Structure 1
């Protein structure tokens, strides 16, 4: 975990002078957008994505699929072109024969580095995967080992360490598929990666998780729901199947017209602003039913002192003027940890965040990063085996480093609302999933 010397620009985090009152249009879900792009690329007919997220991670996914021969046409409705939430934008995805040679830049996007090697195995020709230096350190062995077991040829030893980037998938135009065992305890994306391409494997796929508890189960449920929506047959543990076993039957996928939900995890800093300032924030178009992990914020932030109301217009969250500590298992919603930790550092009682040891393998070691950065502002955070213990202390201003991690940047911004003088290093890293965050943040505050 090191500070990137090339991204040292400091952003003075705005300080709230009173209760926040705002309506914030949050852009589309990265998780939904990138899954939808993969499924549309593997379909047997064209499909549409409406209100997709345009961020670094999704543009990397689109560019990678284009490199493999998929057509992706972007259109903007003139009546909505200026919409902050991307409501006027649509992408038409035109499947074609996947082919190489091609080179894919994954950046530091877990969905790109994990979802696309199975797609590449279906291509005709070699597909090389490379990315940011941090991407070399992120676990990929679950996907690589599984694909080899299913019949793919992968070269992951030309540079770096086996089981990691960079690597080349030598696509043979098809993949036999079948049954495979993997340990996905370090990332649920290993399971999702195999399921998404499974309908195109000759035998489909049966994925058996054999490790310790799976993190981020809502993301696997999201994958299953989206597969079923395009015509795939999926058997799951929740539907009476074997524990930790998912089966996808081979078959053609339908092109569909999908409107992407707002990214509920990216709504977190704005809801946190209402909580810690005793204000009120509305997020339009919050879905009544969703598999997004961010939906858990309604429960978690209510326990920490706020209240919420979900209507046809969206979610309105209101702070009470008090912020309480929480003891919570975040194993299914680990991506929310940085924002919850930031709020907990401002609470009136201690908090314990559990079940998130896997965050040490995310964009950065998030547990170590949160501990260091909050403590350097005067906090009292200690790492546990699987999370953080946070004892609120009076905080002071200072530099909050982000380690090229978008959720570290938004966590620092949350603290800055209540603590004058906080400066966020490389706030531009929020463009990974939340483009224009500084402008949205300033707009929320009426600046």
Structure 2
């Protein structure tokens, strides 16, 4: 786990003196925005993204694509209907240097695309990005015919020597440390000469909803995809070579970023409405409806959106979060305020995320007087009376929002580096205080 600097930038987490009652409009999904950018860059014609997320991760993706020659024009619709980006595909080229920051989608989705460029494309990023696994993508691309220099690290920094094309074909990978390894290969596969057949050979695949999201978005732009859910072999995905269509795509709200606001309703016994919550979605955040209801609330989905109502009591939960691991920090924060113990399972892969999230949550909640124990694949949380103190984020946006949830119920919590929320939710501090003021 990355150490936090001794000199801290502290944000006093607002304490809720009563039940919240607010409507919170959540910006677009990071996962959908960055997949849409990649697919639009590979299309045979221009496309539009409406209501894209503007955050550090998505701006890094857009700038990386521009560096390789893709045109991305940012603006507002003529009727003032919100931000929209026009993506103009072009011949991909190097030499180029791409800053991935600490964005898993950028560091994993773009190397396959870079094999289609003419010339070298170098990938670099934040110090933590050097520690995040990339071997699944690197090894797979080499097996498919790519030349990559990574000095045998299986991680950043590295250079992809694009040849303007990639042969493609069948490949085996172990994606048990990140489902993004599978998505990375599928997103660019229609442009490979033979397409791709990706066979996962490791243990349980985490975050399957994100792979389903990738498949659905590929099909929406005209790709032919065979997957296990549609009669294919277990853990095998096939994408046929084809042209991709430019689309006019409206980005859904980021349901995982709605989590802290729904949690606020739960822990304060209040009510929060998230407009435009989709009736059907592949986003992992949709699981919050069931999880937070089991922890003591209730929800109603209408044409206006999702309204979640807390009862004033929070119950512990025993839940497998293997498919929705990114929700773990927020659920852990709520569990620390519950009236009974919780066990969060199936998330060993979180040790390889923006930080070691299991170690970080254990350390920070216990630092406020909690009783959290790491297990082989998750956390066991026994609620205890908590006290104020510094809640460190380790440059992890979901640690910052988790600490803020605890701060609603515990006076004196200070969040170190709340600005790290800009990774996916740039206006979080203002949205949070606005929710309480409403």
TM range (shorter): over 0.9
Say which of 355, 359, 368 aligns to 1:368. Answer: 359
Cross-structure match for 2:340: 349
The answer to whether structure 1 residue 104 and structure 2 residue 95 are counterparts is no
The answer to whether structure 1 residue 409 and structure 2 residue 383 are counterparts is no
Say which of 245, 249, 254 aligns to 1:254. Answer: 245
Cross-structure match for 2:22: 22
Report if the CA contact (8 A) 2:109-2:180 is conserved.
Answer: yes
In structure 2, C-alpha distance between the alignment counterparts of 1:140 and 1:393, rounded to whole Å: 39
Report if the CA contact (8 A) 2:4-2:392 is conserved.
Answer: no
- Which stretch of structure 1 is more off in the superposition, 320-329 or 5-14? 5-14
Report if the CA contact (8 A) 1:121-1:169 is conserved.
Answer: yes
Map 1:407-446 onto structure 2 (within 5 A).
407-446=398-437
Report if the CA contact (8 A) 1:7-1:425 is conserved.
Answer: no
DSSP 3-state at the match of 2:45? coil
DSSP 3-state at the match of 1:445? helix
In structure 1, C-alpha distance between the alignment counterparts of 2:102 and 2:222, rounded to whole Å: 31
In structure 2, C-alpha distance between the alignment counterparts of 1:119 and 1:104, rounded to whole Å: 12
Report if the CA contact (8 A) 1:309-1:317 is conserved.
Answer: yes
User: Deviation digits for residues 156-183 of structure 1, max 9, x if unmatched?
Assistant: 01xxx61000000000000000000000
Gaps of 5+ in 2: none
DSSP 3-state at the match of 1:16? coil
In structure 2, C-alpha distance between the alignment counterparts of 1:211 and 1:2, rounded to whole Å: 27
Cross-structure match for 2:134: 140
Q: CA deviation at 1:6?
A: 7.9
Superposition CA RMSD, Å: 0.9
Aligned length: 438
The answer to whether structure 1 residue 167 and structure 2 residue 161 are counterparts is no
Cross-structure match for 1:83: none
Cross-structure match for 1:333: 324
Q: CA deviation at 1:77?
A: 3.6
Report if the CA contact (8 A) 2:222-2:244 is conserved.
Answer: yes
In structure 1, C-alpha distance between the alignment counterparts of 2:110 and 2:140, rounded to whole Å: 13
Length-normalised TM-score, structure 2: 0.99
Cross-structure match for 1:84: none
Runs of 4+ displaced beyond 3 Å: 77-80
Q: CA deviation at 1:137?
A: 0.2
User: Deviation digits for residues 149-204 of structure 1, max 9, x if unmatched?
Assistant: 000000001xxx61000000000000000000000000000000000000000000
The answer to whether structure 1 residue 115 and structure 2 residue 106 are counterparts is no
Q: CA deviation at 1:78?
A: 6.7
Report if the CA contact (8 A) 1:309-1:315 is conserved.
Answer: yes
User: Deviation digits for residues 262-300 of structure 1, max 9, x if unmatched?
Assistant: 000000000000000000000000000000000000000
Cross-structure match for 1:71: 71
Q: CA deviation at 1:311?
A: 0.4
Cross-structure match for 2:167: 176
Cross-structure match for 1:51: 51
The answer to whether structure 1 residue 91 and structure 2 residue 85 are counterparts is yes
DSSP 3-state at the match of 2:190? helix
